[in-house]
Amino acid sequence: MEVAKIAEALATVTDPQTGQDIITANMVLHLKVEPPNVSFTLQLPKLEADYKQQLNFACQEAILSVYPGAQVHVHMQNPAATPQAGKGGGPQQSNPLPHVKNIIAVASGKGGVGKSTVAVNLALGLQQLGAAVGLLDADVYGPSAPTMLGLQGQKPQVEKVYGKPKIKPLYAYGLPVMSTGFIIEPEQAVVLRGPRLAGIIKQFVEETIWPPLDYLIVDLPPGTGDVQLTLVQVVSVTGAVMVTTPQEVALADAVKAMNMFFLESVNVPVLGVVENMAYFTPAELPDNKYYIFGKGGGKTLAKKSNSMLLGQIPLVQSIREGGDSGTPAVLDKENEAVREAWLNVARNVARQTALRNEMMGPTARVEMKN
């Protein structure tokens, strides 16, 4: 019996959660071959009976196809259910996205401040810095990612993995994207009641075949509501990025939205604030800054949340045009100043996330109440 042959056989087994084979996903540990016995530990993101059974069966079948006389012993283990998972993870909480290192929620107090623009440019900015990034547009009432990324009218495919339907994300500029806009019309979303909406968001998070990611950026609807509450129940949100415009009115709403993350039961750290439309710069006078909406909103919000101002983004025509045409401004090499403003935000988010992870354990998911 050869270890390499057994590993090769196990590489044909796909994890239904990620769509990746279990060898590439580093799920197989302590592989031991003492003929006729083959034993190993399989690290699983969850310990649900049918999921365990499917994988156990697939592993047995794969090994028996090369060594029909083998006695296969699979020990299943969930790393998130061990104490090493960190103080926040808690011993009982399983992690539905173990291959996603950081989940960053992008939030705002009210609509129209540029939250989706920030989510899209932040995702692509982090990708430009070399990270593996995905985007989940959970703004059910006004999904913008399809238009901003040139994916409008496209539908993600559903693929059966071990008999269970899974959604394949669409790709734009190498970025895996899922948007509620691919599946439901905003008019339909408005009439959805809490539990149904929660079910949809849960499905989007758990049943999408996300590849291994450093960051999953989640574009939330404005304000506080069922989508926000569902997200913090379904996954461990690493941190929130608040988006505001400089004026006072936007600020009051932003504080309300931010306070939801600070609730003792939710407890998601705020990584910082992006001040969008901070100043106006005419295309013909790129060095001039006009503070038409006032000044300082971003800084004030950052102070209130004990976090930092992650960046100030100017109000410029090219950002809107980029959003409308499906070519986000962070990719526009013709407009270096704007591109650099977005990359600066991405750098600061990466830095604040790393700092947060150094100082704190994973955020505990909010327990669902029946």
Ligand X SMILES: Nc1ncnc2c1ncn2[C@@H]1O[C@H](COP(=O)(O)OP(=O)(O)OP(=O)(O)O)[C@@H](O)[C@H]1O
Report the binding-site residues for ATP: 109-116
Q: Which of residues 313-342 bind ligand X (CB under 6 A)?
A: 313, 315-316, 319-320, 323
Question: Which is nearer to ligand X, 103 or 138 (by Cβ)?
Answer: 138
Q: Which residues contact 151 (CB under 8 A, 6 or more apart)?
A: 145, 170, 172, 177, 179, 182, 326
Amino acid at the residue 111 = G
* Residue 138: CB minimum distance to ligand X, A: 11
User: Among 63, 100, 124, 139, which residue interacts with ligand X (rule: CB under 6 A)?
Assistant: 139
CB of 271 to ligand X, least distance (A): 18
- The rounded radius of gyration (Å) of the Cα atoms in the chain is 22
Q: Which is nearer to ligand X, 95 or 281 (CB)?
A: 281
Residues in binding contact with ligand X, number by CB under 6 A = 20
- Residues near 86 by beta carbon (within 8 Å), at least 6 away in sequence: 361, 362
CA distance 131 to 313: 22
Nearer to ligand X, 231 or 277 (CB): 277
Residue 222 beta carbon to ligand X: minimum distance, rounded to whole angstroms: 5
Stretch that binds ligand X, among 12-20, 176-184, 297-305, 308-316 (CB under 6 A): 308-316
| Tokens of residue 276, six digits | 């969008």
Residue 48 class from Cβ within 10 Å (0-12 exposed, 13-18 middle, 19+ buried)? exposed
210 to 229, contacts with ligand X by CB under 6 A?
222
Alpha helices in the chain (DSSP H): 3-10, 49-66, 115-128, 145-148, 180-183, 186-190, 194-206, 226-234, 248-262, 297-304, 317-325, 336-359
Q: Which of 18, 102, 121, 144 binds ligand X (CB under 6 A)?
A: 144
Q: Going edge to edge, which strands form the sheet with 37-43?
A: 28-34, 37-43, 71-77
**Residues for the chain: how many in total?**
370
- Interatomic CA distance for residues 76 and 155, integer angstroms: 35
Q: Which stretch binds ligand X (CB under 6 A): 136-144, 162-170, 180-188, 355-363?
A: 136-144
Q: CA nearest 118: which of 93, 90, 95, 145?
A: 145
Residue of 136, 277, 309, 343 that binds ligand X (CB under 6 A): 277
CA distance 38 to 70: 7
In the complex, minimum distance from the CB of residue 117 to ligand X, in angstroms, rounded to a whole number: 3
Q: Are 294 and 247 in contact, with CB atoms under 8 Å apart?
A: yes
**347 class by beta-carbon count within 10 Å (0-12 exposed, 13-18 middle, 19+ buried):** middle
Q: Contact 330/118 with Cβ under 8 angstroms?
A: no
Q: What is the smallest separation between the CB atom of 123 and ligand X, expressed in angstroms?
A: 13
Work out how close the CB of 135 gets to ligand X at its nearest, in angstroms, rounded to a whole number: 13
Nearer to ligand X by Cβ, of 117 and 363: the residue is 117
| Residue placing its CB nearer to ligand X in the complex, 73 or 320 | 320
Q: Which is nearer to ligand X, 52 or 295 (CB)?
A: 295
Mask for 93-132, x = binds ligand X (CB under 6 A): ---------------x--xxxxxxx---------------
- C-beta atoms surrounding 130 within 10 Å: 9
Name the minimum Å distance from CB 26 to ligand X.
36
Residues annotated within the binding site are 109-116
Residue nearest ligand X, Cβ-based:
111
Closer to ligand X by Cβ: residue 63 or 227: 227
Member of 19, 79, 88, 142 binding ligand X (CB under 6 A): 142
CB-nearer residue toward ligand X: 261 or 293 = 293
Q: How far is the CB of 141 from ligand X (least distance, A)?
A: 8
* Chain positions contacting ligand X, by CB under 6 A: 108, 111-117, 139, 142, 144, 222, 276-277, 313, 315-316, 319-320, 323
